[in-house]
Amino acid sequence: MKAVVLDDSRNNSVVIKDIPTPTIGDGDILVKMHACGICGSDIEKVYGRYGVVSKRLGHEPAGEVVAVGSGVKDIKVGDRVFVHHHVPCYSCYYCKHGDYTMCEYYQRSNIEPCGLAELFLVPEWNVKRGGVIVLPEHVSYDEAAMIEPLACCIKAFKKAGIKANESVAILGVGPAGIMHVMLAKHFNAEPIIAIDINEFRLNFARSLGASMVLNARDDDINANVKAITEGRGVDTAIVATGSINALQSALSIVRRGGRILLFGVPPKGSSMQMDLNHLFNNEIKIIPSLAASDYDTKEAFELIASKSIDIAKIITHRFDLDHAMEAIECAHRADNAMKVIVVS
């Protein structure tokens, strides 16, 4: 079967290899991939300095079950499913404190070989712990591939405690940033300010509910944000990019007592100068949010299935598996692209 992998010997080049089909165990399921989103972390693994050991590509898959182990009871061949690649144990110290993505088993659990493959195996660990959602017919594979990234945004919203009628600025409106715009609109945040350097993405944000869009290269960010928030600054600034400049901008536009949601993944080894006295005296909270648990994926699924969030609107490009490198390049360039997915 075909799988998309990183070739270390060729400077992390993306290659398509023929590899053996995974062997299914008693508690496992085997899924034919029908759609898999390209995530910012996939792009970082190819082009950047991603600070996670795993180099697997594709963790936003949906597909059709083609085989089940003898011990699997609630999933059958032919089921259409979303699969969450990482699943915690739900019983350790971290899980009991709600820090599911800090569970030592979270990163260990994964699909084999990856989501960008013709077939992938979902291990018993994931199957038993809620890592598989059977899809109703009205939810497409394309929409289901958006469950995991939307779940990450939902978790972040909950961590930041964003409420109705609170002002929100989203710095970086790529696919994840656009999902933050959609969630802010859904939860009645107001105003919603989108900040980026890409005019295509700013126009996209405006079309999906942003009250104001600002180009970080051309506009006076501070003056515009203060003008729309009666001089205070925003209640929450969501940094949906790994850019250190965006984090510095967030510090200048958030109000006293406000929150900075650190959502975009900074490159490994990143550092910045910060006036801790300013942070302390103004009680500015910096809240990182990494990945999502299966509680969050279920919330994302419900929002998508009910059409409360019309997630299909953000998909702009589809590539077949043989053209996965073009898909990653398209998502990286982002000239006229929002969410890019690979289909098979």
149-178 pLDDT, tens digit each: 999 999 999 999 999 999 999 999 999 999
Q: Which CATH architecture has domain 2-145+310-343?
A: Alpha-Beta Complex (3.90)
| pLDDT score for 54 | 65
| pTM, to two decimals | 0.95
pLDDT at 83 over 80: yes
Q: Where in the chain is the domain with CATH 3.40.50.720?
A: 154-288
The two tokens of residue 1 are 């079967």
| H or E stretch covering 178 | helix 175-186
Q: How far is CA 179 from the centre of its chain?
A: 9
The pLDDT > 70 percentage for the chain reads 97
| pLDDT score for 53 | 54
CATH 3.90.1150.10 fits 154-288, yes or no: no
40-55 pLDDT, tens digit each: 889 888 887 655 556 7
- Region at 225 (left for phi over 0; alpha for psi -120 to 50; beta for the rest): alpha
pLDDT at 297 over 80: yes
| pLDDT score for 127 | 97
Residue bearing the bigger pLDDT, 265 or 213:
213
| pLDDT score for 6 | 86
Q: Where in the chain is the domain with CATH 3.90.180.10?
A: 2-145+310-343
Q: Are 121 and 112 in contact (CB under 8 A)?
A: yes
- Smallest Cα–Cα separation from 278: which of 253, 249, 256? 256
| pLDDT score for 52 | 57
- The Cα-based distances of 26 to 72, 73, 106, 156 in angstroms read 7, 11, 21, 35
Strand partners, 30: 67, 121
The two tokens of residue 97 are 């404190």
Main-chain phi, psi angles of 234, to 5 degrees: -80, 155
